């Protein structure tokens, strides 16, 4: 499955999503590794089968096996961290923020991809998962490592479109089952 197959699977009411997929796939603000890792991490974050298969196929042509694993790990670790830290952020009792998380996050020390790439992927996944605390933390790290606002925005745009595509395909699959 390819991104074109994914675009073809979208119904006519989601034409804007199809157009956005095309424009993001040809985006040059991010390097290919940054862009396709972001697509893959976001696909794994949403977990819709067609979307995962399409971006797995596309990314496998553009990323090393190590980068593919790192992108998947960004979705995995943020799936945990986004729930935990979003909860702390939302809770009125500030004492929870003083307690150690006691969650293993070893992958963050050595994710198998360059820091900026991994942080872009974590930022995008955090946007999908709705964790403002994690978005802020990763955006700060990205800025410290020289990423531009336009690059960070591109990762968020990818997250938004992958999320929307996945939701449309899941809804259409529900109608057809």
Torsion of the alpha carbons at 124, 129, 134 and 140, rounded to the nearest 10: 20
Which residue in the list 38, 42, 122, 131 is annotated as catalytic?
A: 131
Active site residue 38: no
Pair 51, 7: CB distance under 8 Å: no
Phi, psi of 137 (to 5 degrees): -65, -45
Q: Which two tokens stand for residue 87?
A: 């909860």
- The answer to whether the beta carbons of residues 131 and 81 sit under 8 Å apart is yes
| Alpha-helix residue ranges (DSSP H) falling in the chain | 3-9, 15-25, 32-46, 49-60, 65-90, 95-98, 115-129, 132-144, 149-175
Task: Name, in order, each residue with C-beta under 8 angstroms of 114's C-beta and a sequence gap of 6 or more.
Answer: 33
Q: From the candidates 38, 42, 122, 134, give the one annotated as an active-site residue.
A: 134
In the annotation, is 42 catalytic? no
Closest of 18, 29, 19, 51 to residue 128, by C-alpha: 51
Among all residues, which ones are annotated catalytic? 131, 134
């Amino acid at each position: 499955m390819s991104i074109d197959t994914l675009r073809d699977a979208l119904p006519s009411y989601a034409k804007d999503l199809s157009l956005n997929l095309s424009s993001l796939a040809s985006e040059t603000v991010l390097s290919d590794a940054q862009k396709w890792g972001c697509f893959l991490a976001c696909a794994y974050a949403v977990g819709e089968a067609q979307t995962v298969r399409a971006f797995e196929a596309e990314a496998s042509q553009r990323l090393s096996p190590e980068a593919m694993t790192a992108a998947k790990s960004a979705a995995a670790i943020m799936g945990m961290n986004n729930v935990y830290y979003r909860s702390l952020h939302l809770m009125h009792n500030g004492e929870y923020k003083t307690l150690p998380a006691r969650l293993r996050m070893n992958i963050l020390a050595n994710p198998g991809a360059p820091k900026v790439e991994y942080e872009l992927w974590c930022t995008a996944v955090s946007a999908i998962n709705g964790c403002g605390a994690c978005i802020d933390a990763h955006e700060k790290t990205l800025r410290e490592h020289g990423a531009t606002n336009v690059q960070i925005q591109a990762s968020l745009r990818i997250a938004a479109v992958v999320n929307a595509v996945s939701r449309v395909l899941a809804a259409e699959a529900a109608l057809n089952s």
